[in-house]
Amino acid sequence: MKRGRIVAIAAVAILVPAGAGFLAGRTVPQPVEVAQIACGLPKQTVSFSLPAPLFNPAHASPEPGAAHRVPVWLGPFRHQGTSDVVKLRFSADARGDAPTVSRVNDVIHLPVQVGDPEDPPRRILLHCRNDVVAHVQYVSSGGRTTDFPVVRTMVAEGAGGAGEDSYHAAK
C-alpha cells in the first residue's frame, strides 16, 4: 500500500511540471466560422467551425514550403433555403489573390491563404443567389473582407489547362 502511494506521488511529481511546461505560453487558436446565408425568407444562418491553424501558414506544416499539401474537405451539406448541395475544399491550389473561386460539380475550391498572414480569416460567408452558392466572402479578424464570386468550371483553378470552359454559378 505504501509502495503504491510512493509511485503515485512520483508520477504526479513528474507529470504536473511536464504538463505545465508543455502548456506554458500556448494559446488556443480561434476557430474559423463558416456561415451559410440562406436564400429567400426567412433569413437565417447556419454556421460551423474550422480549425484556425488551417489558415496559419506558420503552423500548417513543420516543413518550409510543405504547407497545405493535403486539402481539407468539408461537407457535403445542403445550403439553407435551397436544394444546392456543396462540398468545400480548402487547399493551396486555390489562389487567395484570384478574382473568383472555382466550383467543379458540387465542390467549391477555396483558398487557405488570403491577404495578410498576420490577419487570417475568422468568418467565411457562403452567399446564395438563384438557389445556388454564388458568392464566398472571407472576413478577417481586423474586419477586412475578400469577396469571391463562384464560377462553375470543368477543372478547378490551378488543376487544369488553359482554355477551360467556365461560367458564373448564378447570374
Distance CA 33, CA 18 (A): 33
Task: Look at strands 107-111 and 101-104 and give their pairing.
Answer: antiparallel
**0.75 cut: is pTM over it?**
no
What cell does 13 get?
Answer: 511529481
What cell does 84 get?
Answer: 444546392
Percent of the chain exceeding pLDDT 90 equals 22
| pLDDT per residue as tens digits for the range 95-108 | 899 999 999 999 99
The reported pLDDT for the residue numbered 3 is 56
Mention every residue, 6+ apart, whose C-beta is less than 8 A from residue 77. Answer: 85, 86, 87
The alpha helices in the chain, defined as continuous H runs, are 2-23, 57-60
Q: Give mean pLDDT, residues 47-63.
A: 63
> Dihedrals φ, ψ of 3, to 5°?
-65, -40
